[in-house]
Structure 1
Amino acid sequence: MSEPADDILTRPLGVAPPPEPGLKGRIARLRRIAAQPRAQAGAIAGALVLSIALLFLLGDPQGGEPRVVVAVTLRETAPAAAPRETVAEAPAAAEGAPAAEAPSAQRSAEEVETASGVTVVRPTGTTAPSEAVVIRVPSAPLRLAAAPDARLTERGRHGAIPKMGEGRIRPLDIYARPEEDGTGPRIAIVVSGVGIGQAATARAIALPPAVTLAFAPYGADVERAAARAREAGHEVMLQAPMEPFDYPDSDPGPQTLLSGLRPPENIDRLGWLMSRFPGFTGIVNFMGGKLMSDPGALEPVMREIGARGLGFIDDGTTPRSQAVALAARTKTPAARAEIVLDAVPRPDSIDRELARLEAMARAKGFVLASASALPLTVDRINRWAKDLDARGVRLVPASAVLRKQPLGRLSKAE
């Protein structure tokens, strides 16, 4: 029985029957053709000869015939708007959109700002594009002097240590971060305990560059970590372990300066501490309640610090410290922190101390504060300092107070 004729009325409009692939499909078509009247045989034979010739010449089972099969789905569409009109009308069209999308967009913007270092200060409680905003693009890190400086270095028993240079040039002046020009209240913050643990050190180095970082002497990679901090623009200091009242139950670590040692022994220990890394502007105490309240034991240490052109920062944790009182006698630049930001290491307490620090700076013009490198403390300082300059307050390095006081005593202006 012959197959029914291929009638265009029996197929969907505009759709040809799918051909079988390759030579097998062409043979099948020839068999169907053979069933048609003999009158068409001559023309069909010519077409067959031509198809086979093309197959061998072109190596194409389809005989060189171009074919494209496209699946098309018809749906109702609206006229497309011009791109410029779409952008302009986007806020109006979004009025009916769910409000939950706005926080997601805001978070994305904040992530971009954090990654790029750009700070955008927006009016409180609004994200409207028409509202005025302040955009601060970070500048390149301020470059500090290279360390060590051969003019300010000598070889000690434990390695290279700082010294006063010819013409009485001091490491305090050469290695300091220059204070940028500006007016208004100033705040200096010394963050101690840096250099212990890579993650904690990286977080501290990410603080605003004007924050001074004091490195503990015991880190395995303390020299490289201090160099990275200076490359990021931070002024650095050396943290010296000093005897507390409950020593040795509380032990600050090896090479602790002790009130019971003879002065040369403490000076030798100080030499070991100073050989740990170059480029520091001065010394910060670590603990030290007993040593710092003993003038006889502390005075030779302070004298050695001043003679080497360094400064001294009392972190404010020792109520009976004699450091600043001895500074004038030993000609050592010194200052004492008025606020310890994380004396109570809780977020609400640190935030209160930061607010008090800012209020005190507005009242006095300058305040020195200290803090530890705890992740919580570093996080709260970063949050507080994010828009500090927009509030009219400047962060300055700790050397700003030390360099102006060659006798180590704070003036009334400070």
Structure 2
Amino acid sequence: MTSFSVPINESGQVSKENQSGSALPAIVGLSTISLCLIVVLILWISILDDPAGGRPHVSVEITNATAQLDLGTVGVANVRPSMTPDPEDLSIDPLLPGTKMRAIAASPGTITAAPDANIADSEEPIAASIHSNAHRLSVFPLDNMVARSEYGLIPKRSGDGMTPFSVYSRPQQFIPEGPKIALVIGGIGLSQSTTAQALVELPPTIALAFATYGENLERWKKLSRENGFELLIEAPMEPFNYPQNDPGPHTLLVDATPAENKSKLDWVLSRTSNYIGVIPSMGARFTADENALTAFASELNKIGLAFIDPSNSVRSIADQIVRRASTDQLGHLPFLKVDVVLDGDATRASIEQHLIQLEELSNTKGLAVGYAQLRPSTVATLTEWLQLLEQRGVTLIPLSAAINLSMPKL
């Protein structure tokens, strides 16, 4: 309705004022919205430039815990680490003048390292490092040379008399005259990173002994055989101070029945395949007991596996028992006694001194056998020592060749 109390001209002015008054808030609102959109856009761009933008994150300093880890104090699952040395591993060390008795800090087969998860899952770096002069060895066991046990497949002689020792050994090659050395490295599979280092840096002439409680043994078996290494499997055996020193739940015991020890041995043998023999882990008391060792040696000869004795114990009667276990029907049990444990003291200087001793023995006896546990210091020292070994007139030969040279003729 038109207001007649207001002049016509004034009515028009009021209308314009009302319109301008209502438009001002709208303009302010639009400006505010636009400003908010610009701010949001700037924030969005800044967030996209930051890969962690929009997600809560914090910076934490990471230290290399592995470098500070003392592998000698770490145990393996279900295994009580050795806290004291086996009394029978006390021996006179000719390399330490004035020392009457010395405890071997890490006796052969002692579990001193836990599985290491720092190794990459990919096998390509190791597979690519296959030695150019290596003869690739079989990875899978022959069908006619496996038997089924309660724990899985274990090796056996074939129907025509072939043995795992002869079939899975490196091919026989010409061995020159002069001093010769064979080497065994034990504890393979306990440390994943050091096992990989050994496969890359050590020559395939060296035999590798797989730890019974090691990790990824099938993987390491495959890579080892592809690189041309001969393999052994470690069998935990009773030391003199058992159970203070406990090689683990599958330890072969002197007072156990032959059936009980046979069951434990089957478990050990089922851990992997394509090995040529067995080497004790600890075992000073077991290798000094006639009845227990006779049953063990007879079982190995029945299967066709070699027996390597790394014991420092003067009570070991392994060489005598092996001769008894050999029969006209089965032939000689392949056997070899270790001459020098290289890393009873795992320092570099001590390892080098024992390598010199091993070399001198090879010049005196013609053949010397060395044993060491898998450690970074051992691998590094051996690698350097081996580079000049041939120039000094000493030949590194496969373990199987050393066994064949040592076995009596039929």
Calculate the TM-score normalised by the size of structure 1.
Answer: 0.63
* Structure 1 partner of 2:292: 297
Q: Could you tell me whether the CA contact under 8 Å between 1:333 and 1:409 is conserved in 2? A: no
Give the greater-gyration-radius structure (CA).
1
1:282 maps to 2:274: no
Q: Which amino acid aligns with 1:193?
A: G
Q: Is the 8 A contact 1:241 1:253 kept in 2?
A: yes
Does the 8 Å CA contact 1:158/1:271 hold for their aligned counterparts? yes
Give the SS at the match of 1:240. Answer: strand
The residue matched to 1:403 in structure 2 has which SS? helix
SS at match of 2:160: helix
Counterpart of 1:155?
148
CA distance in 2 between counterparts of 1:345 and 1:404 reads 30
Q: Is the 8 A contact 2:278 2:307 kept in 1?
A: yes
Q: Cα distance 1:410–1:342, how it changes in 2: closer, same or farther (>3 A)?
A: farther
* Paired-residue identity, %: 37
Distance 1:165 1:380 in 2: 40
Q: Does the 8 Å contact 1:188/1:367 carry over to 2? A: yes
Aligned match of 2:174: 181
- Residue 318 of structure 2: which of 292, 316, 323 is its match? 323
Further displaced range: 234-243 or 195-204: 195-204
Number of aligned pairs? Answer: 276
The amino acid across from 2:376 in the alignment is P
1:197 aligns with 2:188: no
Distance 1:367 1:158 in 2: 36
Partner of residue 224 from structure 1, selected from 219, 223, 231: 219
Cα separation, 1, equivalents of 2:305 and 2:268: 14
Q: Deviations over 1:265-313 (max 9, x none)?
A: 1011000100000100000011001111111111101110111010000
Structure 1 counterpart of 2:271, one-letter code:
R
Q: Given that residues 139 and 226 in structure 2 are in contact (C-alpha distance below 8 angstroms), is that contact kept between their aligned partners in structure 1?
A: no
Gapped regions of structure 2 (runs ≥ 5):
1-125, 327-332
Structure 1 stretches of 4+ moved >3 Å: 408-411
Per-residue CA deviation, residues 146-186 of structure 1 (Å, 9 max, x unaligned), is 42111211111110000011221110011011243241321
Aligned mates of 1:296, 1:355 — CA distance in 2: 37
The residue identity in structure 2 corresponding to 1:192 is: G
1:409 deviates by 5.9
Amino acid at match of 1:189: L
Partner secondary structure for residue 168 of structure 1: coil
Equivalent residue of 1:166, what SS?
coil
Gaps of 5+ in 1: 1-114, 119-137
**Correspondence 1:380 to 2:388:** no
1:364 corresponds in structure 2 to 365
Distance 2:320 2:264 in 1: 23
For 1:147 and 1:374, the matched residues in 2 are separated by 28
What RMSD in Å do the two structures reach over aligned CA positions?
2.3
Q: CA deviation at 1:357?
A: 1.1
Aligned counterparts of 1:182 and 1:326: Cα–Cα separation in 2: 29
In structure 1, the residue matched to 2:234 is 239
Q: Residues 81-120 of structure 1: matches in 2 within 5 Å?
A: none
The answer on whether the counterparts of 1:236 and 1:279 sit within 8 Å (CA) in structure 2 is: yes
1:252 lines up with 2:247 in the alignment = yes
Q: Work out whether residues 334 and 409 of structure 1, in 8 Å CA contact, stay in contact via their aligned partners in 2.
A: no
How far does the alpha carbon of each residue in 1:362-413 deviate from its partner, in whole angstroms, 9 at most, with x for none?
22221111111121112111110012223222111211132355xx6699xx
C-alpha distance in structure 2 between counterparts of 1:147 and 1:396, whole Å:
24
Aligned to 2:108: none
